[in-house]
C-alpha cells in the first residue's frame, strides 16, 4: 500500500509518496486546480497503481476542492492529518529544514503511523448549515460591536438617556433612537447616526439567515430540535460541525470529538487520575454546554442529575457539567442518527467507511455492539485508474454542481 502525503497551498500542491515502511518513493508538484488534481491522480496511478491512500494536512480552506476532485474522480480514499501530528513527525525526522516536500513527507508518515485519522467526507447539508451559521455569527459579532460603540456615544451625548439591554436589535427601538439622534447636534451625534444606520442595515440579513436556518433544520433535523434546550441555531451548529456521522465509530468517539473524553494523568506508582480533556471541537462543546445549562436552569431532564452530582457526590460545578454534557452528547448522537435515517436520500461525497490508512489494508468485520450505531457500513469499491475518459470538464461540472447546491 502506498501513502501519498500532500502539502497544500493556494497555488500549488506538493505530493510525496511513501511505502508501508515510510520510505520515500517519489514526489510531484501540481497546480491547485482541477487540471492539476487530475494530473496528480494520473501520476499516482501510473507509478504506484490504484492501491493508494491520499493524506492531506487538515486545512479545509486549502484542501476542499482537492478532496472533492480526488473522491469524485475515482473513489480515492482521502484522510486528514492534523497539523499538530504533521509538525511532530517533521521534528522527529532525521532531516533538517522546512520545505513543501519535507512537509508532504511528514504528512504521509504521520498518516502511516496513526490508524484512526478522520476520513475526508463532503456532506452538502452540513456544509450548507455551517456556512450559513458562520455567516450569521459573523454578522451578529459585527452588529454587537457596533451597538457597543453606539451606546458609548449615546452616553457621551446624554448620560441620562437610557436604553434597555439588547433593545437595539428591534426595529421599534432603532427608530426611536434615530428620532432622538436627529435632534442632537455635533460630530458625535453624526457618527452615532451612521453607526445606527449600519445596525439597521445588517439586522434584516441576520433575521433572514436565522429564518433560513430554522426552515432547513425543521425539515432535516426534527428529532434534534425536539431535544429540550436545543434551538434551531444550536442544531445548525451541531450538524455543521459534526458533518458525516459515519466517521465516528460510536457515540464515545463522538463525545471525544466534542472534547468530553477524560485524559489519563498519572505516572509510576502514583494514583491513577483522569482529567478533563480540554481539546476537541470547541464549537460542539459550547453547544452541548448551552443545552445543559438551559436544561438545568429551566428544570429540564439534566437538572435532577446535575443536583444529585452536586449534592450527593459533592462534585464541583465544572465536574458535574462535564458529566451532564457527556450524557447530552450521547443523546445528541442518537438523535442525529435518527434524523439521518429518516431523511430523504442525501448521499454525501465520501469514502468514509474506513478508519484511516489501516482501512486500506483490512476492513473491520466484527459486529457492532453500541446501541446508537448506524447499520453496518458498505465496503468501498476499488478505485478505478484515472484514464483519458475522466476529463477536466467532468470534474469542473461536478464542482459547479456543488457550488450551485451550496448557493455559492
pLDDT, one tens digit per residue, over 276-296 is 767 788 899 999 999 999 999
User: Residue 159 to residues 5, 13, 175, 196: CA-CA distances in angstroms?
Assistant: 61, 58, 20, 18
Using a cut of 0.75, tell me whether the model's pTM lies above it: no
Q: What is the pLDDT of residue 362?
A: 36
Mean pLDDT of the chain: 81
What the block records as the C-alpha cell of 318 is 465544572
Measured between alpha carbons, how far apart are the two ends of the chain, in Å?
Answer: 37
Distance CA 38, CA 73 (A): 8
Domain edges within the chain: 2-123+383-406, 124-220, 232-347
pLDDT band at 67 (very low <50, low <70, confident <90, very high): confident
The architecture of the domain spanning 2-123+383-406 is 2-Layer Sandwich (3.30)
What the block records as the C-alpha cell of 257 is 470529538
For 333-368, how does the pLDDT look when each residue is reduced to its tens digit (9 = 90+)? 999 988 888 876 544 444 333 333 333 333 333 343
Residue with the larger pLDDT of the pair 232 and 247: 232
Q: Quick check: 383 and 54 in contact, CB under 8 A?
A: no
What the block records as the C-alpha cell of 380 is 468501498
Convert 16-44 to b/e letters by CB count within 10 Å (16 or more is b).
bbbeeeeeeeebbbbebbbebbbbbbbbb
Amino acid at each position: 500500500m502506498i501513502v501519498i502525503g500532500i502539502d497544500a497551498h493556494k497555488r500549488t500542491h506538493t505530493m510525496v509518496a511513501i511505502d508501508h515502511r515510510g520510505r520515500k518513493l517519489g514526489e510531484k508538484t501540481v497546480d491547485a486546480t482541477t487540471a492539476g488534481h487530475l494530473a496528480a491522480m494520473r501520476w499516482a496511478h501510473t507509478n504506484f497503481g490504484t492501491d493508494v491512500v491520499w493524506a492531506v494536512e487538515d486545512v479545509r480552506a486549502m484542501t476542499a476542492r482537492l478532496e472533492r476532485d480526488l473522491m469524485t474522480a475515482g473513489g480515492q480514499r482521502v484522510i486528514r492529518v492534523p497539523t499538530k501530528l504533521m509538525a511532530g513527525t517533521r521534528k522527529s525526522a532525521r532531516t533538517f529544514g522546512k520545505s513543501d516536500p519535507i512537509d508532504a513527507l511528514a504528512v504521509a508518515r504521520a498518516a502511516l503511523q496513526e490508524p484512526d485519522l478522520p476520513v475526508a467526507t463532503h456532506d452538502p447539508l452540513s456544509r450548507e448549515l455551517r456556512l450559513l451559521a458562520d455567516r450569521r455569527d459573523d454578522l451578529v459579532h459585527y452588529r454587537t460591536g457596533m451597538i457597543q460603540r453606539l451606546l458609548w456615544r449615546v452616553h457621551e451625548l446624554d448620560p441620562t438617556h437610557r436604553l434597555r439591554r439588547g433593545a437595539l436589535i428591534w426595529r421599534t427601538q432603532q427608530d426611536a433612537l434615530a428620532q432622538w439622534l436627529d435632534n442632537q447636534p455635533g460630530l458625535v451625534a453624526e457618527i452615532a447616526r451612521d453607526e445606527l444606520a449600519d445596525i439597521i442595515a445588517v439586522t434584516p440579513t441576520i433575521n433572514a439567515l436565522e429564518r433560513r436556518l430554522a426552515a432547513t433544520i425543521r425539515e432535516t433535523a426534527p428529532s434534534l430540535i425536539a431535544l429540550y434546550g436545543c434551538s434551531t441555531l444550536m442544531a445548525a451548529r451541531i450538524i455543521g460541525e459534526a458533518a458525516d456521522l459515519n466517521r465516528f465509530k460510536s457515540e464515545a468517539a463522538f463525545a471525544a470529538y466534542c472534547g468530553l473524553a477524560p485524559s489519563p494523568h498519572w505516572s509510576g506508582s502514583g494514583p491513577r487520575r483522569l482529567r478533563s480533556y480540554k481539546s476537541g471541537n470547541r464549537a460542539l462543546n459550547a453547544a452541548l454546554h448551552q443545552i445543559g445549562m438551559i436544561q438545568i436552569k429551566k428544570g429540564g431532564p439534566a437538572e435532577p442529575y446535575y443536583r444529585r452530582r452536586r449534592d450527593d457526590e459533592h462534585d464541583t460545578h465544572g465536574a458535574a457539567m462535564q458529566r451532564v454534557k457527556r450524557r447530552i452528547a450521547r443523546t445528541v448522537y442518537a438523535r442525529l442518527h435518527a434524523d439521518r435515517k429518516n431523511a430523504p436520500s442525501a448521499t454525501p461525497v465520501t469514502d468514509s467507511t474506513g478508519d484511516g490508512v489501516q482501512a486500506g489494508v483490512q476492513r473491520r468485520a466484527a459486529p457492532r455492539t453500541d446501541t446508537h450505531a448506524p447499520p453496518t457500513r458498505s465496503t468501498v469499491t476499488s478505485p478505478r485508474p484515472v484514464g483519458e475518459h475522466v476529463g477536466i470538464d467532468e470534474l469542473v461540472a461536478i464542482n459547479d454542481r456543488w457550488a450551485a447546491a451550496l448557493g455559492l
